[in-house]
């Protein structure tokens, strides 16, 4: 196989992926996002990203400030981050992924919390909210025409706008799942898991 065959194969794969994503997003176009004038591509991903944003913010807020230094120790938890470090990591990563989509320099060292000086629960909640607000702003600029534009950098490697956006959804969801354990080990049921009250 020569380089042209490889390139053509990658281009065919990208076109197929684009067709699949666009087709999958069409049912969402009639939802509220479409009323906001969002492109169906952005709307399809924004819906899922908004779900994890709401769940993550409510989870972070549910942990008492005095427990932000908590990390599990019973079981196989060697080297895990504290609750505070997890929150800071996710906020930094949100800024990083979406900075790369805008072809901007991402914040450094998100694996260790990045450059933000946030330390208290109030400061971390502000940082986390700001990171999701920024992510939503950038996400909403995605269209069917630019979704496969190259984007990437140190966080996620070479990718596309769509690729980094879906990576951001996965990343926040992965850490949400980890932090559910932190809350439950402290006797707290995450708000998204609490039973709804019937009226």
Is 199 part of a structural domain of the chain?
no
Alpha helices in 63-197 (DSSP H): 83-101, 121-139, 161-185
140 in any annotated domain: yes
The candidate with the shortest Cα–Cα distance to 63, out of 170, 191, 174, is: 191
Does the residue 166 lie in any domain?
Answer: yes
pLDDT at 46 over 50: yes
CATH number of the domain enclosing 85: 1.20.120.450
Q: Count other Cβ atoms within 10 Å, centred on residue 87.
A: 26
pLDDT tier at 38 (50, 70, 90 boundaries)?
confident
**Could you report the per-residue pLDDT of 161-179, keeping only the tens digit for each?**
999 999 999 999 999 999 9
The values of phi and psi at residue 63, to 5°, are -75, 125
- pTM tops 0.75: yes
Determine contact, residues 144/39, Cβ cutoff 8 Å.
yes
Q: Has residue 67 got a pLDDT over 60?
A: yes
Cα separation, 170 vs 112, in Å, equals 19
pLDDT of residue 34: 47
159 forms bridges with which residues in the sheet? Answer: 151
Q: How many CB atoms lie within 10 A of CB 115?
A: 10
Indicate whether 38 belongs to any domain: yes
Report the C-alpha gap between 158 and 120 in whole angstroms: 34
Condensed to tens digits (0 to 9), the pLDDT of residues 141-164 reads 999 999 999 999 999 999 999 999
Residue 188 located in a structural domain: yes
Number of separate domains in the chain:
1
Distance (Å, rounded) from C-alpha 117 to C-alpha 105? 19
**Cα–Cα distance for residue pair 40/27, rounded to 1 Å:** 9
**Mean pLDDT, to the nearest integer, of 24-32?**
47
Task: Give a yes or no: residue 123 inside a domain.
Answer: yes
In a domain, 149, yes or no: yes
User: Quick check: 57 pLDDT over 80?
Assistant: yes
**Residue 179 is part of which domain span?**
3-193
pLDDT for the residue 74 = 87
Residue 191 has pLDDT above 50, yes or no: yes
Q: What is the mean pLDDT of the chain?
A: 86
Q: Is residue 184 part of a domain?
A: yes
């Amino acid at each position: 196989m020569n380089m042209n065959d490889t390139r053509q194969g990658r281009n065919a794969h990208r076109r197929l992926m684009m067709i699949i994503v666009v087709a999958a997003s069409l049912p969402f176009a009639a939802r509220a996002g479409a009323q906001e004038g969002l492109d169906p591509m952005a709307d399809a991903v924004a819906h899922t990203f908004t779900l994890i944003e709401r769940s993550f913010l409510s989870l972070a807020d549910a942990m008492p400030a005095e427990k932000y230094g908590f990390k599990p120790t019973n079981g196989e938890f060697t080297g895990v981050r504290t609750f505070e470090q997890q929150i800071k990591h996710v906020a930094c990563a949100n800024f990083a992924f979406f900075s790369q989509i805008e072809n901007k320099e991402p914040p450094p060292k998100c694996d260790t919390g990045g450059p933000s000086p946030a330390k208290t629960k109030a400061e971390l909640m502000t940082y986390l909210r700001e990171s999701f607000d920024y992510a939503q702003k950038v996400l909403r600029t995605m269209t069917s025409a630019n979704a496969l534009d190259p984007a990437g950098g140190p966080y996620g490697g070479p990718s596309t706008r769509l690729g980094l956006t879906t990576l951001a959804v996965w990343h926040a969801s992965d850490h949400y799942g980890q932090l559910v354990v932190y809350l439950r080990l402290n006797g707290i049921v995450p708000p998204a898991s609490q039973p709804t009250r019937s009226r």
